[in-house]
Amino acid sequence: MSARPIQIGQRRYASVSLAAMEIRTVLYSYEPGTSTVTPAHERFLRDVLDRHPESAQKIGCGVASFQVESNGGSRGFWLTRHDGTRTDWSFLACLTAPTAEQQALAGFRAAARPQIDSFRDECFARGKPPICPVTRERLTRKTAHVDHEIPFDSLVKTFLGPTALRDVRVEPTRDDATETMLADRVLREAWALYHRSVAKLRLVSAQANLSALRRQR
């Protein structure tokens, strides 16, 4: 993340990365689904949420409490409104609003998610623990990441051809939708077929996926 200063409520951070670090400390202070956050953390999260590009929609009739929940294998912040309705919200969007390209790419990832999850399940259903081809370590469900041998971004750009990524529409934000979805159902289905036929998936360690492989691209 960038080194530009950022203001969150009364707190000023020298960089977005430092702000994200403090927010993640709060996020990982709680087990998903166990309880609401403490009053001190709640005050901080209210200031963070105020920076969300869709804060008015997220807040709605008013925030009663904040929780940490499991979002498709990871954890994220949720809020409960005074009327009992709930929604998730991204703290990263509060730090740097996602671009149209980033939102579209997230939509393509969500459309491919069932195939990625199925591939992971098949690898672990074979009985013998899979081995990371980069680090040679044995993988567990917790340490394994699904990697695209052909970078995911490249697959999307090839699929779109002359269509610009920024011109791909995504569905509006709604409660209980933890992923960004492509708005065009036909495009979504065509992409799923393309991904199934072209993508080359492999299980690698988190370390390899986030460091060694990323440096090669």
Residue 57: per-residue pLDDT: 92
* pLDDT of 21 above 60: yes
The DSSP call for residue 175 is T
Q: How many domains does the chain have?
A: 2
Residue 167: per-residue pLDDT: 96
- Of 95, 117, 138, the residue at which a domain comes to its end is 95
Residue 191 shares a structural domain with residue 114? yes
Locate 49 and state its tokens: 């949420």
* pLDDT of 178 above 70: yes
Residue 108 shares a structural domain with residue 131? yes
**Which residues contact residue 28 at a Cβ distance below 8 angstroms, ignoring those fewer than 6 apart?**
75
Mean pLDDT across 180-185: 94
- Of 75, 95, 115, the residue at which a domain comes to its end is 95
Name the nearest CA neighbour of 77 among 132, 33, 125, 122: 33
Residue 48: per-residue pLDDT: 97
Confidence of residue 98 (pLDDT cuts 50, 70, 90): confident
* pLDDT of 128 above 90: no
pTM as predicted: 0.73
Q: Could you read off the pLDDT of 130-168 as tens digits, one per residue?
A: 999 888 999 988 888 899 999 999 999 999 999 999 999
Locate 45 and state its tokens: 């999260």
Residue 213: per-residue pLDDT: 47
* pLDDT of 212 above 70: no
Identify which has the larger pLDDT, 210 or 11.
11
Report the DSSP beta bridge partners of residue 66. 79
Contact at 8 Å (CB) between 119 and 195? no
Locate 88 and state its tokens: 């998730």
Mean pLDDT across 41-68: 95
Confidence of residue 211 (pLDDT cuts 50, 70, 90): low
Is 1 contained in some domain?
A: no
Confidence of residue 174 (pLDDT cuts 50, 70, 90): confident
Residue 215: per-residue pLDDT: 45
- Of 71, 95, 119, the residue at which a domain comes to its end is 95
Residue 70 shares a structural domain with residue 168? no
Residue 169 shares a structural domain with residue 209? yes
Q: In this prediction, what percent of the chain has a pLDDT beyond 70? A: 94
Contact at 8 Å (CB) between 9 and 2? no
Per-chain mean pLDDT for the chain? 90
Domain hosting 212: range is 100-216
Q: Using CA of residue 170, residue 172, residue 176, residue 178, what is the dihedral sign?
A: positive
